[in-house]
Amino acid sequence: MNTEKIAALTTWLEKSSLSGAILTNFHDIAYLSGFESDPIERVLALVIVTDNVPFIFGPALEVNSIKESGWHYPAFGYEDQENPWEILTQHIKARTNGKHFAIEGDNLTVTRLRELKKAFPEATFDADVTDQINHLRLIKTPAEIKHMLAAGRDADRAFNFGFEALAENISELEAVAELEYQLKKTGVPAMSFDTLLQFGDHAADPHGSTSTRRLKSGELALFDLGTITEGYASDATRTVAFGEVSDNAKEIHAVTLEAQRTAQAKAKIGMTASDLDAVARDVITKAGYGEYFSHRLGHGLGTSVHEFPSIMAGNNLELQEDMVFSIEPGIYIPGVAGVRIEDSGYMSKNGFVPFTETPKDLLQF
Ligand code: MN
Ligand code: MN
């Protein structure tokens, strides 16, 4: 339970003359309460009111887990056949006379907002607490960074299992199955997203997915993976050679690596996210591959694998101590090959400290 951050939100609500906030993004609920569960289609809400203690409202079958998660405040459930919005409204009314609430605009669907308004017609839900929560999550605590370093160790072990699985004619899916099987046997409960493995020209599609494509000698293999460790996500990418690859493949790997290393070395507190993106982009552009680096340099992560800040052109947010983000330049040449190299890490006074340590030079298997 993150008492400090809940207090910070309460202060913001008071300053904004709001009665409370109804949070429904389960990542934000996990971050603030310590209770982590994706409710899928059921309703899970963390309600913070300014004049009473906060409470969690969720499926009846989750109430015990909420209480066991370390949440010290009330937890209430609803049964599947009940109207959750009516019951949630009753609990809110029992705790506050206030009628002005903030919601999470990027999470609460229009349909759910309609249900809420129907159950609680005298209240307003015009305020949005999304920016405040993103801001709270932006700077990590020492404990959070410790969890993310542990997640990085797991990602390093995952790469090793993946590299060992590479073999002539193995499919991307088969190699990922092997990687995850070996990793889960060591106690890692989950990946932070579907492990991506792409061979040869398939890696030229940065939005592609792991497929039945088979590996041939002389091709690159791009692994983009992450684990959930101690509730925190890791996210890292390595591109390795299977057999002897072409000079062109070696060159785009070398340019991507120079861009990644340069950005990592030049990241400094006080620099803008936009300027950091430009550092990596300049290296790739000068080498003649600018048009093939088609995405932002990086993104924040924490209890979820994508959060603020976005490391991209136009974002003038300054990098601050204990901000966590990825640095992941790539070069994708359609029909030829794709390379991406990614480390996530945190900003310290002395610069960027990566969570992953797997070598980034072109490893050959
Ligand atoms: Mn990644
Ligand atoms: Mn990433």
pLDDT tens by residue, 74-109: 999 999 999 999 999 999 999 999 999 999 999 999
Q: Which of 261, 270, 258, 275 is nearest to 314 (CA)?
A: 275
Contacts 24+ apart (CB under 8 A), 177-183: 179/223, 179/225, 183/154, 183/157, 183/158, 183/227
What's the pLDDT band for 341 if we cut at 50, 70, 90? very high
C-alpha 299 to ligand 2 mean position (Å): 6
C-alpha 320 to ligand 2 mean position (Å): 19
AA letter at 87:
I
Average pLDDT over residues 24-42: 93
Average pLDDT over residues 124-143: 94
Average pLDDT over residues 46-63: 97
Q: What kind and span of H or E run contains 133? A: helix 130-138
Ligand positioned closest to the Cα atom of 324: 2
Residue position matching structure tokens 């019951």: 87
Least confident of 74-78, 133-137, 148-152, 158-162: 133-137
**How many angstroms separate the Cα of 79 from the Cα of each of 19, 25, 75, 98, 317?**
27, 20, 14, 26, 44
pLDDT digits (tens, 9 = 90+) for 242-278: 999 999 999 999 999 999 999 999 999 999 999 999 9
What's the pLDDT band for 207 if we cut at 50, 70, 90? confident
C-alpha 176 to ligand 1 mean position (Å): 15
Output the pLDDT for position 20: 98
Ramachandran area for residue 229 (φ above 0: left; ψ -120 to 50: alpha; else beta): beta
Measured distance CA(262)–CA(85) in Å, rounded: 51
Q: What percent of the chain has pLDDT over 70?
A: 100
For β-strands 227-229 and 232-233, DSSP reports them as antiparallel
Cis ω before 39 (30° cut-off from 0): no
Average pLDDT over residues 129-138: 93
CA angle 133, 21, 41 (to 5 degrees): 85
Ligand positioned closest to the Cα atom of 325: 2
Are 295 and 312 in contact by the 8 Å Cβ rule? The answer is no
Q: What kind and span of H or E run contains 68? A: helix 63-68
State in Å, rounded, how far the first CA of the chain is from the last one: 45
Q: Angle, nearest 10°, between helix axes 142-165 and 172-185? A: 130
AA letter at 323:
M
Ligand positioned closest to the Cα atom of 222: 1
The 3-state DSSP composition of the chain as helix, strand, coil percent (nearest 5) reads 40, 25, 35
* Joined tokens for residue 75: 């937890």
C-alpha 330 to ligand 1 mean position (Å): 11
C-alpha 238 to ligand 2 mean position (Å): 12
Measured distance CA(248)–CA(201) in Å, rounded: 12
Measured distance CA(169)–CA(217) in Å, rounded: 9
Burial zone of 171 (CB within 10 Å; 0-12 exposed, 13-18 middle, 19+ buried): middle
